[in-house]
Amino acid sequence: MSLHAAVDLGASSGRVMLGEVAPGHLALVEAARFRNGGVEVPTGAGVLDTAIHWDVLGLWQDALAGLRRAGELAAQLPGGRAGTVETVGVDTWAVDYALLAPDGSLLGDPRSYRDGRTTGLMEALDARIAPERLYARNGLQRLPFTTLYQLLAEARGPHLDRASTLLLLPDLLGYWLSGHVGAESTNASTTGLADVRSGRWAPDLVALAGIDPGLLPPVHDAGRVLGGLRPAVAAATGLDEAQLVAVGSHDTASAVVAVPATTERFAYIACGTWGLVGVELPEPVTTPESLAAGFTNERGVDGRVRYLHNVMGLWVLQGCLADWRLGAAALPGLLEAAAAERGGVVVDVDAPAFLAPPGADRPMVARVQEAARASRQQVPESRPAVVRCVLDSLAAAFARAVDDAARLSGRAVDVVHLVGGGARNALLCQLTADACRRPVLAGPVEATALGSVLVQARSVGTLSGELEDLRALVADTHELVRHDPR
């Protein structure tokens, strides 16, 4: 058996998990869990002069504390399973980055993709390159927060001219952990700067961003052992022997590794703050029809293609809970009440109006109600009615994306696997099965951490084989909940 630590940072929470792996055995132990979220700060005298940053230094401290705890838990495992953590892997959300000075120091806190600084830049770039040509090169869904557009906005600020290196956020943490400078390919593929077929930086796309190509480090693939931890990190965590391993550093890439599929005729929904809905393919799809449908071709582990559509996900529900000042403990009661609602009010949760964080001047509940009003549907007034509207709308968006993925890729879909935090939401899973007209298999909840641990274990030889072999281990060791369409 081998022991591995997964640092899994999502846009609304982070966790460090200890993974136990052996042939026929796969288990996680939670070492730490902590909150995350964009921090809105003023940037000028005006009311609207704000920026949204990530507290990456706080995340770093939380990750170190979690790794120390993972090491302690590894030494305390019962039944002769105690040992030391062999490897560490890091994944985060996509597209966001940090800039480093020539001495390796951080140039400001990284900006959040929910920051409004990219407004209008996607349309401005259309004047330089037609969307169809850009899609043929990078294969990405048109989203205003893609790294390419963020870099166009970055040119207005003070840091780009002073920077010598750009690191995506999981690569930043990897650099702090081990000193390794690089870019893992699954996350690099989300930037808009990588060739859709090779997965490596494309000079013409980098030129569109207007940056020095020397800012971008070499791209490597998941599964590569990157080296030992820095002495100071080893001392702080107690992980003296651990090696850093490149996992699918885009959290969805790691989650897809752990989808417990037993056939290729499946679709997945990686449901957390975002809902990423798609199929796994051997080659990208860059047709005009695919572009028009809003599908993206992101690189997966082992060179697979994650052909998917980004849906707004649980972000809208989280925003409503924030408006009501309710915590997670209130959700089960709300879901029970929402299940008793008639339902049927469906709004477009992918609309740009839902992207910005909720606040006193832009409550999420009001946005849901306004979307219903604008589409001439009954406006949900009670809290259960609003929750039901959000979940019906998510289920409808998921179903559209599954149908479109099957139609555009030619890949038949018999079953939908819903993994991530959304797998806990039985009402959402059932509504999704109803809307998809296909069975939904819910779980595992911690698919991203499991995918990270699986790739780590394969990198040191505890496991072997293709992704299908890794998925079979997940299916054999984790209980799934089946929701049949009604």
Instruction: Give all strands (DSSP E) within 23-131, no chain letters.
Output: 25-35, 39-42, 50-53, 85-91, 97-100
Q: Is 336 exposed, middle or buried (0-12, 13-18, 19+ CB in 10 A)?
A: exposed
Q: Hey, is 324 helix, strand or coil?
A: coil
Q: Of the residues 91, 96, 251, 323, which is catalytic?
A: 251
Whether 484 is a known active-site residue: answer no
DSSP run (H or E) holding 271 = strand 266-271
**DSSP 8-state code for residue 439:** -
Q: How far apart are CA 216 and CA 167, in angstroms?
A: 7
6 token code pair: 């997964």
225 token code pair: 């052992």
DSSP run (H or E) holding 308 = strand 305-311
Other Cβ atoms closer than 10 A to 404: 19
Beta pairing, strands 25-35 & 165-168: unpaired
Q: How far apart are CA 232 and CA 242, in angstroms?
A: 13
Q: Is 389 exposed, middle or buried (0-12, 13-18, 19+ CB in 10 A)?
A: buried
Q: How far apart are CA 437 and CA 484, in angstroms?
A: 8
Tracing tokens 């349309």 back to the chain, one arrives at 123
Q: How far apart are CA 8 and CA 448, in angstroms?
A: 7
Q: What are phi and psi of 243, to 5 degrees?
A: -110, 145
456 token code pair: 């780590």
- Evaluate whether 423 touches 375 at the Cβ level (below 8 Å): no
Catalytic residues: 251
